[in-house]
Structure 1
Amino acid sequence: MDEKVVYKRKKMKTSSADKAFTVINTIIMTLFLIITLYPILNTLAVSFNDGIDSARGGIHFWPRIFSISNYKAVLRRPGIYQGALITVARTVFGTLSSLAVNALLAYIVSRKRFLFRNQLSLFWVVTMYVNGGMIPTLVLFKNLKLTGTFWVYVIPGMVSAFNMLVMRTYMNGLPDALEEAAQIDGAGYMKVFVRIISPLCKPVYATIALFIAVYHWNAWFDTMLYNRNKTKNTTLQWELMKLLTSAMSQTGGSANPGSTKSDAITPIAIRAAATILTALPILCLYPFLQRYFVSGVTIGGVKE
């Protein structure tokens, strides 16, 4: 009887501890969810609020005076649609080309039979810490006839030492027996890479693709440097940057000097609307890559 009483008491204590842990864990995760979602919801509320009223502050989860004038101001910006087209094009071409080039380089330096694998890896690591600087890079691109063209967005970013090393580390973890079996059956290196290595590298490919796509989608500084006066090669982020600068420089904070008070645009409202418009595509893309993301970062970032 004594042993049963002791067992029941231990079970009650364990159950109480589990319940306390569940309650505390739920509270912490709920607070974390609120902290994570609040900036997004607040930005969304400000973007749909009247511009002049947004300057008063005090907007949290819901717009005080509902208005779509902020989005109208952004979408009416001259060059915004051309910039969106170029941004989509550079994101697609840049992501695919960079992923293909880095995957091929990673496959080459991950093969144990390749003679200069360690030397090349060291060379690429050095480029992560040392570069020629902005002016020499600008002169180089100008001499290569890249400035003023669309390809200045794609070609310079094809090779990334970080992305290549992450892929190489992931490929090093694949069994060598797979490649040896394929070569016995007559497969060459390219066929092994396409038919065997690449299908097994989907997690790290998806992770790197997301990194590259986010970089290209958010880039605007290279547009200012290389295509500042080329309207046909403008980008979405550069047009939004000019719009925000224009809004901040206008008297009273209005991006439309001739607008009425009801549809006046302020920098805080323009910034919120631009943030929502630029973040929306990435937010829509992330769920499709989420199942690969964690495993790609974890496995690709660990070297045994």
Structure 2
Amino acid sequence: MKRKKHKISYINRKTPFDYFLILFFVVVIFITLYPFINVLAISFNDATDTLRGSNMLIPRVFTLANYEYLFTEKNLFPPLMMSIARTLVGTISGVICTAMLAYTLSRRDFYFRKIFTAMFVITMYVSGGLVPEYLLITRTLGLRNNFLVYIIPGVIWVYNVILIRSFIDGLPEALQESAKIDGASDFKIWYRIIVPLCKPVLATVALFLAVGQWNGFMDTYLYAPNLKTLQYMMYEIVNKTGIDPGNTHGQNVEVLASSITPQAIRMAITIVATLPIVIVYPFLQKYFVGGMTLGAVKD
């Protein structure tokens, strides 16, 4: 008689070490998320109640006064629109220009590609410095207090060029050769073949550019103080020690000071500044991981 083989399943068996790992990662997740949750709770909590203690996970006295103060007294809407505009325009133009340059440097029939690649890489280690950059942007290009000062200086990042070029080098050359035989131009090959195949790495570069544009404030401080962005306003508010009575627009300063504190304002503007990136990142995460891994592999 044949003996029946009994299959032993280890799927549902958990060892003490497994429970330890689960507990450990739960603690790590809590430690990671607690600062953001705490900032969110304080931003929605009554400012005077926060003075009793700011260690909280949920608002003790829920209020929208902090956000109302930001968008009315601090006139936060124009800087928010400026940040959105520079992020959208800077990201789209940066992705297009970077992808074009990377495709050009990936072409093996481009005779000077090694020379230009070396020149670009050198700029990653050696720069002209802040003073030449300031003189170039303000005097030579005349971009002071011009919206293009947010776009032109950061339209090409060498690291992104190398990332996209490495991804293109991993694509089959037969695709481009067959397109050439069919009479396709270089530009048509780029936007009909290369761009669709490079979606993962392009999404990765777009995320890099969007985060850089959204978080930038030094360029506003140096070149465009009249075109204030949300991050620059956050920088100004965080560096203030108290409420500015000159921005109360005729309201009762004592009432305002009793209901609003600098800590509450800092927390509220921190949430406003970080929320767009927190919302966008999950949708680009899979492309981000794929672009970082596939972009470094060559056939």
TM-score scaled by length of structure 2: 0.88
What is the CA distance between 1:66 and its match in structure 2? 2.1
Deviations 1:232-257 (CA, angstroms, capped at 9, x unpaired): x22111122222333x1459xxx968
The question of 1:44 aligning with 2:46 is answered no
Residue segments in structure 2 that go unaligned for 5+ positions in a row: none
**Measured at CA, do residues 77 and 241 of structure 1 come closer, stay the same or move farther in structure 2, by a change above 3 Å?**
farther
User: Bigger CA drift: 122-131 or 99-108?
Assistant: 122-131
Q: Look up the SS of the partner of 1:165 in the other structure.
A: helix
Matched-pair identity in %: 41
Secondary structure at 1:260's aligned position in 2? Answer: helix
Q: Is the 8 A contact 1:74 1:243 kept in 2?
A: no
User: Counterparts of 1:240 and 1:293 in 2: how far apart (Å)?
Assistant: 28
Separation of aligned partners in 1, 2:186 and 2:258: 62
Partner of residue 234, structure 1: 228
TM-aligned CA deviation for residue 60 of structure 1: 2.2
Name the SS of the counterpart of 1:128 in structure 2: helix
Q: For residues 147-168 of structure 1, what are the alpha-carbon distances to aligned partners after superposition, in whole Å with 9 as ceiling and x for unaligned?
A: 1111100011111101111111
| Number of corresponding residues | 292
Equivalent residue letter for 2:71:
L
- Superposition deviation, residue 180 in structure 1: 0.8
Match of 1:280 among 275, 281, 291: 275
Amino acid at match of 2:148: W
The answer for the alignment partner of 2:286 in structure 1 is: 291
In 1, Cα distance between equivalents of 2:217 and 2:90: 14
Tell me if 1:85 matches 2:81: yes
The aligned residue for residue 201 of structure 2 is 204
- Counterpart contact for 2:94–2:155, Cα < 8 Å: yes
Instruction: Please give the alpha-carbon distance, in whole angstroms, between the structure 1 residues aligned to 2:108 and 2:16.
Output: 53
Contact 2:242/2:261 (8 A) holds in 1: no
- The residue that corresponds to 2:114 in the other structure is 118
C-alpha change, 1:198 and 1:93, in structure 2 (3 Å) is same
CA RMSD of aligned residues (A): 2.6
Could you tell me which of 19, 34, 47 is aligned with 2:30? 34
Amino acid aligned to 1:268: Q
Q: Match for 2:239: what amino acid?
A: T
Matched, 1:267 2:275: no
Of 73-82 and 102-111, more deviation after overlay is shown by 73-82
Amino acid at match of 1:129: Y
Amino acid at match of 1:260: V
Q: Deviations over 1:244-275 (max 9, x none)?
A: 333x1459xxx968142785322322121111
Task: Write the deviation string for residues 67-120 of structure 1: whole angstroms up to 9, x where unpaired.
Answer: 222112211244421111111111111001111111001001111111121221
Are the counterparts in 2 of residues 50 and 263 from structure 1 also a CA contact under 8 Å?
no
Please say which of residues 182-191 and 48-57 is displaced more in the overlay: 48-57
Stretches of structure 1 that go unaligned for 5 or more consecutive residues are: none
Q: Secondary structure at the match of 1:115?
A: coil
Q: Distance between the aligned counterparts of 1:300 and 1:34, measured in 2?
A: 32
Q: Determine if the alignment matches structure 1 residue 179 to structure 2 residue 179.
A: no
C-alpha spacing 1:263/1:182, structure 2 compared with 1 (3 Å): farther
SS at match of 1:158: coil
Instruction: Give the ranges of 4+ consecutive aligned residues of structure 1 lying more than 6 Å apart after TM superposition.
Output: none
Task: Measure how far apart 1:54 and its partner are.
Answer: 2.2
Counterpart-to-counterpart distance in 1, 2:67 and 2:18: 43
